[in-house]
Amino acid sequence: MSPPKSTRRNCFYVGESYDMGQSMGHLLFQLMASMRREVDARMAELGLTDAQWKPLWKIKLGHADTAFELAREAGIDAGAMTRMLDRLETKGLVERVRSETDRRVVHLRLTAEGEAAAEHIPHVLADVNNDFLRGFNKAEWGQFKDFLQRMLVNGQALQEQKEKAEDAE
């Protein structure tokens, strides 16, 4: 059985000469890994780990205010999130407040120390992004974002096609 040949007009990669090190996926993965390491190092200077600053930021933004919501947002087990919140509470960054309307629900609130820590997060993230964009001008930055967004749209379209095909079966 011979490998399939692509019939698309814009083939930037061909199987016969495919070099994974030059693929968009590999390069983007390497870029994200490098950025993540830099964010981790800078957050460590604030005494925060990756698993700690993200819940603080989600709470600060109002994206989640319970352990369940944070776990769902992070795509992790609720038990693991509860343990992380225990550590954040021990550090004095988060407090748990029982709901006045439903005693089963425990809301999360940043303490004054948590608010102060969360204030640094967007600055660290902006600085890391800016450092990785060193040498780009505004037009290139905008074009790069547009390219990435187009790739995301293409990926979403592929996923939707796959879901429609599965539904049709």
Which tens digits make up the pLDDT trace of 23-56? 999 999 999 999 999 999 999 999 999 989 999 9
107 in Cβ contact with 65 (< 8 Å): yes
Give the whole-number percent of the chain exceeding pLDDT 70: 95
The span from the CA of 48 to the CA of 117, in Å, is 9
CA neighbor of 147 nearest in space, from 134, 161, 160, 136: 136
The span from the CA of 59 to the CA of 113, in Å, is 13
Give 92's DSSP letter.
T
The span from the CA of 90 to the CA of 144, in Å, is 41
Q: In the CATH hierarchy, which fold is given to the domain comprising 37-128?
A: Arc Repressor Mutant, subunit A (1.10.10)
Secondary structure (3-state) at 107: strand
The span from the CA of 63 to the CA of 118, in Å, is 14
63-105 per-position pLDDT tens digit: 999 999 999 988 999 899 999 999 999 999 999 999 889 888 8
* Residue whose structure tokens are 């989640």: 64
Q: Could you tell me the pTM of the whole model?
A: 0.82
Predicted confidence band of residue 9 (pLDDT cuts 50, 70, 90): low
The span from the CA of 70 to the CA of 64, in Å, is 6
Tokens of 167: 């539904």
What is the pLDDT, as a whole number, of residue 12? 86
State how far Cα 66 lies from the chain centre: 19
Give the count of alpha carbons within 13 A of 157, CB side only.
6
The span from the CA of 52 to the CA of 73, in Å, is 14
Say whether pLDDT at 10 is over 90: no
Domains in the chain: boundaries? 37-128
Burial (CB < 10 A; 0-12, 13-18, 19+), residue 106, is middle
Average pLDDT score over the chain: 92
